[in-house]
Structure 1
Amino acid sequence: MSKVFSRRDLDFLLYEWLDVEALTARERFAEHSRETFDAFLDVSQRIAERDFAPHNRKNDLHEPTFDGERVEIIPEVSRALTIFADSGLIAGTIDIDRGGLQLPLVVQRACFLWFQAANTGTSAYAMLTSANAHLLLAHGTEEQIRTYVEPMLAGRYTGTMCLSEPQAGSSLSDVTTKAVKLQDGTYRITGGKMWISGGDHELSENIVHLVLARVAGAPAGVKGLSLFIVAKKDVTTGERNGVILAGLNHKMGYRGTTNAVLAFDDAKGELVGEEGRGLQYMFHMMNEARIGVGAGAVALGYTGYLHALDYARERQQGRPVTGKDPSAPPVAIVEHPDVRRMLLASKSYVEGGLALVLWAAKLLDEPSEENALLLDVLTPIVKAWPSQWCRLADDHAIQIHGGYGYTREYPVEQFYRDNRLNSIHEGTDGIQALDLLGRKVTQKGGAGLALLLDRIRATAAESAELGGEVTKAADRLAATTATLWKDPASALVNATAYLDAAGHLVIAWIWLEQLKAAEGKQGAFYEGKRLAARYFVTHELPRIGPLLDLLDSGDTLLRDMDDAWLG
């Protein structure tokens, strides 16, 4: 069994639960079949294990450096990205007439999980490039697509998103980067951007930056932001554009991905779409990246779990709690109850998170008004829940390895460090909580949340053993939400508690769905699904009770406190 990821679980979720083969009845996917889906999953596993995983530790130990002129990156990164581009997977979901494979998003997501699990530092370049290309395909001109997107899909260019600034952080209304329009229709961009993943390197011929900036005279706040293409090198002259690498940030994880401080000094830029609609366009990439971050958190948690499971079965230490004979041989630590607790908890987190990510992707493959509403509500959960709970699987993996776990002789400490960043990437957990409670569950009169709760209740009604507790939790969340809407300002103080409760309810429902797909099937794999479902509903779902109690109480402690009291 691979320790990078689980092909068996992917097959179960894709074919036995989500029935992705049925998507081939749609005109868009008619040229595909299970055979083609399997072929791309096979090649993804092969490339991930052969070309990405072997340099994951080297990527971490030898992070990119900047000598004042060039960024130096270990050569394995460039080779791996070239092989990835040659596979066609960077254009996996893009139309055939654009040079893509026209795969369902759910299959592409499943394929890319292999790369995120094998080497999150190297795979980040590909993820950002793909999301950048998708935005420009949706909102760019034909000329912009030919000039920038086609080279990205061919693996010649890479892409980034440039939102944050040193003084603004996640508060995009405070962006100050300026754009001045010239008579030839281009713009000159001036300002600074911070925390730009993939912001500078020599891995590609060019880097396509998507930059939020404010045109002179535009209103304050996010409504005054426009979106610009700013290439590292001017595509007409080949000369360096006014994009200056001011330095690299050195983070605790994702060390193989350059993270740049960029200065735009009168850089040539091209407007995307219309002025003043920049954030609207950028959400196309942001939402894709948020789901990608959630998927990355699942991948890192899953590979950590697989490494811990393998170690627990091999490591001989201690004796059963009832064992009285000190001369008896030690047992594998998987026999110890607390190790089993951590392994089972981790299994429930990573397999639940994986199912959530794939289900969200399939919603995009079956576009409808209902699915759009569901995805709006789910996106903050898909991003934030795995970032917290699949990271806990990596925490457990360290604990299971004992003293070895926090040494660099074993990879689990790197998995944890890499995964810790996902609670910050693409909007912190707190920002996702505000988005969920402050916007997503209230928009259109709460239609999205109502749809989600209806689906949860319908599945729960079919589960005689565990459905009752999930139904109670769904009803409780609905009642709490209705109470919170009466005083939104006070409710948002505890938005994070709401996100945690909603996330756990959704994962409990996801486990009932997997339980239904496994019904009547025999073997260790299916028994494992039934065990994990029972564990999550009986051990994890009860966590939401105290969270909803807090929300129902109207507690405003966090709003009323004085920061001077903190010391």
Structure 2
Amino acid sequence: MSPQGMPPIISSMTTSLRSTLDFLLYDWLRAASLTARPRFADHSRETFDAVLDTCERIAREKYAPFNRTVDTQEPRFDGEKVILPQCTHDARQAYADSGMLGAAQDYELGGMQLPYVVESAANSFFACASISIGSNLLTTGNANAILVHGTPMQQRVFAANEFNGRWAGTMCLSEPQAGSSLSDIATRAEPDGAGFEADPLGPRYRLRGNKMWISAGDHELTENIVHLVLAKIPGPDGKPVPGVKGISLFIVPKKLVDTEGKLTGERNDVALAGLNHKLGWRGTTNTLLNFGEGRYPVRAGQGGGLDGRGAGAIGYLVGKPGEGLKCMFHMMNEARISIGMAATMLGLAGYYASLDYARTRLQGRPIGSGGKDASSPQVRLIEHADVKRMLLAQKSYGEGALALNLYCARLVDEGRTGDAGAAADARLLLEVLTPIAKSWPSEFCLEANSLAIQIHGGYGYTRDFPVEQYWRDNRLNMIHEGTHGIQAADLLGRKVVMQGGAGLQLLARTVAVTIAKARQRPGLAAWAGQLEQALRDVIDATRAAWATGNAGEALANAVPYMQAFGHVVLAWMWLDVADSVLAKDASLSIAASVGRMGAARYFFHYELPKTGAWLAVVCTRDATCADMAEDAF
């Protein structure tokens, strides 16, 4: 194996991923059965496979070979525009030409009406091959938010041109002084003249402020960029409404357009203030944007509120005033699941690379078999028990997280196309699982990347091999789209207690179905009992955390709670997957430790027992961290 700056076994990597996807999609989730529903009636297993084939090929040819290139040739600003390597342009164009930007959308929008679970599976190839190139998720999420909350005109002009690949999209929330505290944003939006409500593209405002950490905030990959921007509008007294109630959502295009979606030739007052230079995801432009600083003054509205040309970026209101967070969370929740998938695929990429290395690298001798005899032949790394442990951990994290992500995608399809009762349950269950789908892969698939470096030894810490880049790229995902602590507070502070705990109760009933099914297989009965107890412990811990009704006490240990909760969810995934494995091949047993069964066995023997320690501090509302005085540090 020769050191190189790209995945060492691109073909083998995508082949391994494809085998896993095929099993999860067809044998476990029964995705082909969705073709019985009217929305997907034009499809079949063959059309799903054709989409997977296309994405696998593009990822192998246009993405994976250039993963190191985009890491070393970072975006740069020449004072006029952002410069990206040609391979990024080529990959983005190939992706857009494939139709995947609107794969799950209606035919009328140029989409394929694919099930979302198939779209998610197909997109996983790009994330595995090069996450820096493959970060198109914000464009799709941006367009989907406009479809849900925008006017028909906004849908035709902005969303449709994002789905067809002409334009890209961003999400502009954070600000330098506010970070994740959205109630403290300072960007302002004021009506653009007396006739501001008459603009056919939506009520027209002038925005002034700064936004930070904007992925793909400026580039030349597309002819236009559609920014979705959170800003505060004035209240009845003309002053900004405090807190989140005054926050509204605006479409702010980089270049102004008409009602036919044609560029007017006028640049909006959105200026690139600087590029952020990151530890990972270096191939994706990350920006600080200034809105309305006057660098690109634009014409005033017809109402005459401003004379001639004035400062202020033109923005079109999306949805109702004051409901910006509600609108934006549609995009954020979709992005959170996508970030979970990104973290998962980086974890799997590291696993595939370290598995290949362990199979070919000769080092050491087995314990108890002449290990101290230097004249005896060396063995491959994979023959050492501890290396097998690290590989099993990676496999159980990565493939388990992939199962969770695809399960959540399947819930999206059920929520959109199932009967009323099943659709409502799917949406509620997805609400509960979303913090886990984002946070669990971002923590434990990062650990998988760390183990991949460990297997490579000192070589893993060099840029001669790709595993150090996978770790750097993945480290961002615990921060992306809501930090780990925010996800934990959302889970324990809202998701498991909302509607009187209805979501947690639904999850418990759903897991119980898997437990009952697994008990019918003698080989899985012990794991079923183990999961049942762990689930009971999580429910008891939830009650104990909120026993005093004091949010400060309950949420002081929200992250350990989320870690335990996530491990229980992943154990559920593995038990359900194991049942499908045995249903497909009854000759297998858990003792055989073959493939997926080995990973499931590892998770139940080595991982699920960890939940006890995490839940102990939750149940006692341990105040060690909360009570620590600042000067004691």
| TMscore range, shorter length | over 0.9
1:229 correspondence with 2:284: no
CA distance in 2, matches of 1:198, 1:323: 55
- Alpha-carbon offset, residue 489 of structure 1: 2.5
Q: Does the 8 Å CA contact 1:388/1:423 hold for their aligned counterparts?
A: yes
- Alpha-carbon offset, residue 27 of structure 1: 0.8
Q: Does the 8 Å CA contact 1:298/1:353 hold for their aligned counterparts?
A: yes
1:320 correspondence with 2:334: no
CA distance in 1, matches of 2:607, 2:54: 36
Q: 1:275 aligns with which of 321, 334, 337?
A: 321
In structure 1, the partner of 2:576 is 513
- Alpha-carbon offset, residue 184 of structure 1: 3.1
- Alpha-carbon offset, residue 407 of structure 1: 0.7
TM-score for both structures, normalised by structure 2: 0.88
In structure 1, the partner of 2:631 is 564
Unaligned stretches of 5+ in structure 1? none
- Alpha-carbon offset, residue 443 of structure 1: 0.3
In structure 1, the partner of 2:439 is 384
CA distance in 1, matches of 2:170, 2:428: 28
Q: 1:337 aligns with which of 363, 381, 385?
A: 385
Counterpart amino acid of 2:385?
P
1:196 correspondence with 2:214: yes
Q: Does the 8 Å CA contact 1:518/1:526 hold for their aligned counterparts?
A: no
Counterpart amino acid of 1:103?
L
Alignment of 1:413-492 (within 5 A): 413-461=468-516, 462=519, 463-487=524-548, 488-492=551-555
Q: Which moved more, 1:63-72 or 1:83-92?
A: 63-72
Residues 403-459 of structure 1, C-alpha deviations (whole Å, 9 max, x = no match): 110111100000000000000000011000000000000001111111111222332
Alignment of 1:181-220 (within 5 A): 181-182=191-192, 183-185=195-197, 186-217=204-235, 218-220=240-242
CA distance in 2, matches of 1:169, 1:184: 31
CA distance in 1, matches of 2:144, 2:223: 20
In structure 2, the partner of 1:156 is 166
- Alpha-carbon offset, residue 483 of structure 1: 1.6
Counterpart amino acid of 1:304?
G
Please give the secondary structure, in 2, of the residue aligned with 1:486: coil
Counterpart amino acid of 2:154?
Q
Q: Does the 8 Å CA contact 2:230/2:250 hold for their aligned counterparts?
A: yes
Counterpart amino acid of 1:135?
A
Q: Which moved more, 1:149-158 or 1:441-450?
A: 149-158
Please give the secondary structure, in 2, of the residue aligned with 1:504: helix
CA distance in 1, matches of 2:594, 2:37: 34
CA distance in 1, matches of 2:564, 2:542: 11
In structure 2, the partner of 1:537 is 604
Q: Which moved more, 1:25-34 or 1:179-188?
A: 179-188
Residues 245-301 of structure 1, C-alpha deviations (whole Å, 9 max, x = no match): 000000000000000000001000100011111100001100000000000000000
CA distance in 1, matches of 2:438, 2:535: 21
Q: Does the 8 Å CA contact 1:64/1:256 hold for their aligned counterparts?
A: yes
- Alpha-carbon offset, residue 238 of structure 1: 2.0
- Alpha-carbon offset, residue 527 of structure 1: 2.4
Q: Does the 8 Å CA contact 2:531/2:568 hold for their aligned counterparts?
A: yes
Please give the secondary structure, in 2, of the residue aligned with 1:268: strand
- Alpha-carbon offset, residue 67 of structure 1: 2.2
Q: Which moved more, 1:546-555 or 1:55-64?
A: 546-555
In structure 1, the partner of 2:305 is none
- Alpha-carbon offset, residue 523 of structure 1: 7.5
In structure 2, the partner of 1:147 is 157
- Alpha-carbon offset, residue 526 of structure 1: 8.6
Counterpart amino acid of 1:274?
K
CA distance in 2, matches of 1:303, 1:167: 36
Q: Does the 8 Å CA contact 1:230/1:267 hold for their aligned counterparts?
A: yes
Q: Does the 8 Å CA contact 2:557/2:621 hold for their aligned counterparts?
A: no
Please give the secondary structure, in 2, of the residue aligned with 1:300: helix
Residues 82-118 of structure 1, C-alpha deviations (whole Å, 9 max, x = no match): 1111111111110111110110010000000100111
RMSD (CA atoms):
1.3
Q: Does the 8 Å CA contact 1:212/1:228 hold for their aligned counterparts?
A: yes
Please give the secondary structure, in 1, of the residue aligned with 2:265: coil
1:113 correspondence with 2:131: no
Please give the secondary structure, in 2, of the residue aligned with 1:425: coil
Counterpart amino acid of 2:570?
I
Q: 2:25 aligns with which of 1, 14, 17?
A: 14
1:258 correspondence with 2:258: no
Unaligned stretches of 5+ in structure 2? 1-10, 198-203, 259-263, 293-311, 416-422
Please give the secondary structure, in 1, of the residue aligned with 2:207: strand
In structure 2, the partner of 1:172 is 182
Please give the secondary structure, in 2, of the residue aligned with 1:447: helix
Please give the secondary structure, in 1, of the residue aligned with 2:557: helix
In structure 1, the partner of 2:429 is 374
Counterpart amino acid of 1:551?
V
CA distance in 2, matches of 1:83, 1:76: 10
In structure 1, the partner of 2:201 is none
In structure 2, the partner of 1:245 is 272
Q: Does the 8 Å CA contact 1:457/1:470 hold for their aligned counterparts?
A: no
Q: Does the 8 Å CA contact 2:109/2:163 hold for their aligned counterparts?
A: no
- Alpha-carbon offset, residue 364 of structure 1: 0.8
CA distance in 2, matches of 1:437, 1:523: 38
In structure 2, the partner of 1:352 is 400
Q: Does the 8 Å CA contact 2:366/2:379 hold for their aligned counterparts?
A: yes
4+ residue stretches of structure 1 with deviation over 4 A?
522-526
Residues 57-96 of structure 1, C-alpha deviations (whole Å, 9 max, x = no match): 0000011011222111101111111111111111111011
Counterpart amino acid of 2:278?
K
- Alpha-carbon offset, residue 3 of structure 1: 1.8
Please give the secondary structure, in 1, of the residue aligned with 2:231: strand
